[in-house]
Amino acid sequence: MSANEALLIIDYTNDFVADKGALTSGKPGQTLAPFIVDLAEMMHQNNSWVILPTDVHSPNDPYHPETRLFPTHNVRGTWGRQFYGDLQDWYDRNKQDERVYMYDKTRYSAFAGTDLDLRLRERKVNTVHLVGVLTDICVLHTAVDAYNLNYQIVVHEQGVTALTEMGQEWALSHFRDVLGATVL
């Protein structure tokens, strides 16, 4: 791990992970917390970037395609949008460090409609490590965009989960076989 690597912790929020979350991955998502926090700490200690691209929505937004697909989730300023478990505490302790930051995203990919690519290139990052939820939605779309932008991709299998086992297996295979990602 080095300064030219970044960890993207994608959408690890209460709405996607907690038992009462609006679009929860449940226990499989909850079991990721220790691994994600430990990896964030390790990468932070090694001068890598720790970035938290976080889904944000307005209730019943008639212009957002997800409104038709999913229940309302990750509404700004709500419990559902807070980071799940110990990740919230880790973020609160480290958010003043310039190498740790959270930003809003409104589409599946952490790159779509954001300045992530620009920020990574300014910081000479060439490798992105991916953890979070959901493996076959937001993590997948982020990986596809990272591939198209010529980043090296590392997906940490212990740090991702999908809503279904089939979705998880398919996405992990896709990362390896189609995107050339390293799956650890």
Cα distance between residue 167 and residue 58, in whole Å: 27
Pick the CATH number of 5-55+82-183 from 3.40.50.10860, 3.90.1150.10, 3.40.50.850, 3.90.870.40: 3.40.50.850
Residue closest to 28 by CA, chosen among 167, 160, 141: 160
pLDDT of residue 36: 98
pLDDT, position 117: 98
User: For position 64, what pLDDT does the model report?
Assistant: 77
Sheet holding 182-183, edge to edge: 100-105, 49-55, 5-10, 127-133, 152-161, 182-183
pLDDT score at 139:
98
Secondary structure class of 105 (helix, strand, coil):
strand
Q: What is the pLDDT of residue 67?
A: 79
Q: Map residue 130 onto helix, strand or coil.
A: strand
- pLDDT tens digit at each of 184 positions of the chain: 667 999 999 999 999 999 999 999 999 999 999 999 999 999 999 999 999 999 999 888 888 788 788 888 999 999 999 999 999 999 999 999 999 999 999 999 999 999 999 999 999 999 999 999 999 999 999 999 999 999 999 999 999 999 999 999 999 999 999 999 999 9
Residue spans per domain, the chain: 5-55+82-183
What's the pLDDT at 1?
66
Q: Which two tokens stand for residue 50?
A: 């720790």
Query: Pairing state of beta strands 152-161 and 127-133?
Result: parallel
How far is it, in rounded angstroms, from Cα 43 to Cα 65?
34
